[in-house]
């Protein structure tokens, strides 16, 4: 059988989260994805190898999500085929450090209120970390969360974005009934 391999890099401060206490998180990820994960904790280099290409891809998505600030328990939702992961790079939108802070602040909101409302209306988990915003959620809701975040980053009012999300949720519920 052919062995596949992925190499990726995660921030050094996220290596401890990936490995976990006494290596528990890493071992759990390896057993769930049937892969072998090797971590260079000094550089943040991660090497994943395995025989099943789909499991390997899932492991890569999981490790990327953990590297971008997600809790390993939340990242494990990605093993479910009905869940997806999206990453929005704010570095492309921000012209300066102040721009970056402003954009992150718009998504997070006062005391995390905007983020919480988007999470509740889309059944997704959001993580704002560094220059990125990560989204983990059901496949049908991830694009909705992405659109809401894009609207906020584009300057739409919070109220307008929340109304849009509520309308989309109603439309989805009506489609489920029919």
pLDDT (tens digit per residue) in 96-117: 999 999 999 999 999 999 999 9
List pLDDT tens digits, range 56-93: 999 999 999 999 999 999 999 999 999 999 999 998 88
Domain boundaries, the chain: 4-79, 83-176
Confidence (pLDDT) at 1: 60
Task: Please say whether the structural domain 4-79 has been given the CATH code 3.30.1370.10.
Answer: yes
Total-model pTM: 0.90
E-assigned strand segments in the chain: 4-9, 36-40, 45-50, 83-89, 125-129, 132-138
Please tell me the class of the 83-176 domain.
Answer: alpha beta
For residue 5, pLDDT beyond 70: yes
For residue 106, the surrounding DSSP H or E stretch is: helix 97-108
């Amino acid at each position: 059988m052919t062995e596949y391999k992925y190499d990726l890099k995660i921030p050094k401060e996220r290596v401890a989260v990936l490995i976990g206490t006494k290596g528990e998180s890493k071992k759990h990820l390896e057993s769930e994805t049937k892969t072998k994960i090797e971590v260079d904790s000094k550089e943040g280099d991660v090497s994943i190898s395995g025989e099943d290409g789909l499991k390997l891809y899932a492991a890569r998505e999981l490790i990327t999500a953990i590297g971008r600030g997600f809790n390993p328990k939340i990242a494990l939702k990605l093993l479910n085929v009905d869940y997806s992961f999206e990453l929005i790079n704010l570095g492309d939108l921000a012209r300066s450090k102040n721009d970056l802070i402003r954009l992150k602040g718009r998504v997070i909101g006062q005391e995390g209120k905007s983020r919480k409302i988007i999470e509740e209306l889309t059944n997704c988990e959001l993580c704002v970390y560094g220059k990125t915003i990560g989204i983990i959620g059901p496949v049908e809701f991830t694009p909705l969360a992405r659109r809401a975040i894009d609207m906020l980053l584009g300057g739409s009012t919070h109220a307008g974005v929340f109304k849009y999300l509520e309308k989309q949720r109603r439309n989805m519920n009506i489609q489920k009934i029919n």
